[in-house]
Amino acid sequence: MFSLRGFIKKGLLDAVGKMADYQIILNAGGWYNQNVLLQEDLAEINAAIEKKNTPAPTPEENPDEDKPVTPEEEQENSAE
């Protein structure tokens, strides 16, 4: 059987990353006010938006790691 709640929730979740966040939030709020979506649905939609907006962790970079070693630096390191 068709579920309007499931249909709307899926559409809003699919829109994350394709529509502006504020549009998804306002749209979800409208469906919540019409008693189609529940607070748990809004929490799930909000979590999807936050996940999209969270930057991916980058490995710690050592700026000297990729720097080529000059012959002078090699001599200094071997003298130690």
pLDDT tens, residue by residue, 6-65 = 999 999 999 999 999 999 999 999 999 999 999 999 999 999 999 999 988 777 755 556
Helix axes 4-15 and 39-53, enclosed angle (nearest 10): 10
Q: Which pLDDT value is given to residue 59?
A: 73
Tell me if the pTM is above 0.95. no
Sign of the CA dihedral with 46 first, then 49, 50, and 51 last: positive
Q: Which pLDDT value is given to residue 14?
A: 97
In this predicted structure, the answer to whether residue 80 has a pLDDT above a threshold of 80 is no
Distance CA 76, CA 5 (A): 70
| Domain locations in the chain as residue ranges | 4-52
Q: Mapping DSSP to helix (H, G, I), strand (E, B) and coil, where does residue 45 land?
A: helix
In this predicted structure, the answer to whether residue 74 has a pLDDT above a threshold of 80 is no
Q: Fill in the amino acid letter for 20.
A: A
Place of tokens 């939030």: 25
